[in-house]
Amino acid sequence: MKIMNCPLNGPRNISEFTYGGEFKVMPDPATCSDAEWADYVFNSDNAAGVVREWWLHNASSYWFLAERHTVTDQIIRTFDPKEVFSQRVEFAPHAQEIAG
């Protein structure tokens, strides 16, 4: 049985988690091009080695980050996203939402 340490709930069976994708720095949505935004949303580096990834603990709906070696599948560490983010990103409403 593979165990992952949830920063909020402690060690849990890996079946309690959902992979959320590779962690990438988000471009500024107000200034980036459509191509840059599409690259951020849809593409990943898929690198061999240690990568940062988003994970969800399903039972508590808690999102966190993990560093995992993609070749060996070893989970090196898990941590709260507060280690990376200092503030929340707010998005402006779409023109349709404003007009409607």
Architecture in CATH for domain 3-83:
2-Layer Sandwich (3.30)
**Measured between alpha carbons, how far is 70 from 68 in angstroms, rounded to an integer?**
6
How far apart (Å, rounded) are the C-alpha atoms in residues 6 and 66? 9
**pLDDT at 62 (0 to 100):** 97
pLDDT digits 0-9 by tens, 14-46 = 999 999 999 998 898 889 999 999 999 999 988
Name the pTM for this structure.
0.80
- The DSSP symbol for 90 reads P
